[in-house]
Chains A and B, each alone.
Chain A
Amino acid sequence: MPMPELVRRLGRMAALRSALALTAVFVLVSLLAGGAAAWLLEQELEALVDTTLTERHAELGAQLDAAGELERLAATYDEWSKSHRMELWSFETDAGRTLGEPTPQVLETTGYSYVDLEGIFPTERDDWRVFVAPTEGGRLAVAVSAENILESMEIVRNTFLAVGLVVSLVAIAGGLAVGVATQRRHDRILSTLQAISDGNLSARVSPEHDRDDVDTLARRIDESTARTEKLLQQTRGLSVNIAHDLKTPLARLRAQLEREFPASPERESALGQVDGVIESFDGILQIARVEAGDAKTLFAGVSLTDLAETVVATFGPVAEDSGCTLALRPLADPTVLGERGLLVQLVANLVENSLQHGGTSTRIEVGVTPVGIEVLDDGPGIPADERSEVLAPHYRREQSRSTPGHGLGLALAKAIAELHDAELSLTDREDGRGLRARVVFPARAFLTSS
């Protein structure tokens, strides 16, 4: 999987994303808090040492003030130095003489600082904390080996880094685990909902536990799907039962008419009426069945050009005989996923609608475009306010009450389009001359693009 695609998909996983974001915030806050604590500790340590240095400076400064002490202090420096391990002092008189530790580089500094003094004591580190300030008769420097304080600081830093690393790793691992687990539960719900919306009403999330609101959500989805499935089964059972309970008597009636009455115009008329009832009945049942979506299990690749050719070859002569023309206009040859028989019926119904309402010498075109199929005519069209109504079952336009048909053709066309997730629309043609019935398939319905 290419990186941007992976990032895009991760970005769409809400649970994983929020778990990772929370982990990142936690790690950042831990690192900042730890860092601040370490920094404060170091400041505290340094302040402690500096206080000692200031006191020592004041003490020595006071001794230097006393007359005659200068020479004595200088003479006893070695002794002092022995009793003050890891400490030293250096004094530069105004006259330029240096007493105490001969470390001129120390006296070049001012205030508190770290200075590297090599070989004064056999210590591991040569860093010294130094305080230099003028005092009576010259500049006095006091220093203490920084070995302890720097080592302490290092320990603080290392401890902080180690703890920070462990905490971050544990937090990231925990965050990932929680995120992936939650994401998996979300994905399970999502894939189940996808299956349900694809018509598989027996799909269930079936959560393994009942721990939290995600499980409750899953359970509620399962319950409502089960209810919907049951309702649909009842409805289907009902339509089958109605069909059975009404069609058997109709069959009996038809058979009785055929068998018990001699052939006559009256019998033919009665049979015609029975057949009309049956036809209407079949139409309603068919719309109900198409809407139930069972035919989705029969979906296969259908070439729209091939389908349009079939419809034109079938209805072309019918159009010609009523003074109209029916032509094919293939602008593309897409293959869509669908039920061929139903799609033929859809286009046939649109063509028959144009034949019935277009009037004589109507020119009808069946066009195949990259997005679907359309039927255009140059007839009177449908007034804008009637367009949504003509797609409802049993709607028949005022002018068409005299023409045959049970007003189900366009309603069935719409149901078939919806079964394929396609959109059926009736509009004026762009040039305003006639009707344009379009069936636009969703992008996912196409098996090949033209």
Chain B
Amino acid sequence: MRILVLEDDEQLGAYLDEGLSSAGHQVDVVGDGRHALTAATSSNHDVVVLDRMTPGLDGLAVLKAIRAAGLRVPVLMLTVMNQVEDRVEGLDAGADDYLAKPFAFSELLARLNALARRGEADGSGEPTTLRAQDLELDLVRRRCTRAGQLIELTSMEFRLLETLLRGRGRVQTKTMLLEKVWGLGFVPTTSVVETHVSRLRSRIDKPFDEQLLRTIRGAGYVIDADA
């Protein structure tokens, strides 16, 4: 996909360019807010990454201008301040996601993939049942079955599985899961995600031959798109 990145730190911009390109994306990196606004409004990007503090126009102003121009392109804000009030400010201005600097590259990649997919999914309607091979999650009756066998899940496990199935084929990082499943804006000291994932795995994978829930080392978890 085509990604526009506003990052005024040259070295970091170069790394982002290189990293996203090697992940198969087409990348435009600009270092000035005004250029970012011109680029965003003149060419067609699948997703936009805006650093919060940049020369010319700051990221928040660029975001507001993009939204004022009626563009619905998914926007991820990069910020050095990762506080709830900063996040609310960014999301109120029309940002779709928020990532604190410094970040793991895998985290950025996972979030951009999720954002681009969200853009595509618009208008396709909400599914009532999520599937992966012989695993079925009925969102209306709150039931999980695999190979026809009913599997009991706690509400947290249900939400975890739902999140992984909705993002099928895309890696969900720990912090993404903490936000989406548990609503936590911080990373707990204890291994919350690992524990819940391992419990979910023991219910949906352990009793069966094929393992659906995969751990991607240093990145996160995924249920493959066509596993």
Contact = CB atoms under 8 A, between A and B. Distances in A.
A and B held together in a complex: yes
Interface of A: 240, 243-244, 247-248, 250-256, 258-259, 263, 268, 271, 274-275, 278-279, 282, 285-286, 289, 294-295, 297-298, 310, 313-315, 317-318, 321, 339, 341-342, 344-345, 348, 352, 355-356, 404-405, 409
Contacts of B124: none
Q: How large is the interface on B (under 10, 10 to 19, 20 to 34, 35 or more residues)?
A: 35 or more
B15 A252 contact: yes
Q: Which of B101, B156, B183 has the most CB of A within 10 A?
A: B101
A228 B190 CA distance: 39
Interface in B60-92: 80-85, 88
Nearest to A356: B189
26 contacts: A240-B80, A240-B81, A243-B80, A244-B53, A244-B80, A247-B80, A247-B102, A248-B101, A254-B103, A255-B102, A259-B15, A259-B18, A274-B102, A286-B83, A286-B186, A295-B84, A298-B84, A298-B85, A298-B88, A314-B192, A315-B188, A318-B192, A345-B184, A348-B186, A352-B188, A356-B190
B195 interface: yes
B80 A339 contact: no
A310 B182 contact: yes
Nearest to B199: A317
B155 A252 contact: no
A314 B155 CA distance: 10
Interface of B: 9, 11-12, 15-16, 18-19, 53, 80-85, 88, 100-105, 154-156, 182-192, 195-196, 199, 218
A342 B84 contact: yes
Interface of A is mostly: helix
Nearest to B51: A248
Contacts of A259: 15, 18-19, 105
B61 to A, nearest CB: 16
Contacts of A254: 102-104
A275 B83 CA distance: 17
A404 B189 contact: yes
Nearest to A294: B85
Nearest to A259: B15
Given A253-B102, A255-B19, 16 more contacts: A243-B81, A250-B101, A251-B9, A252-B11, A252-B12, A256-B15, A274-B102, A285-B82, A298-B85, A314-B182, A314-B184, A317-B196, A318-B192, A345-B186, A352-B189, A404-B189
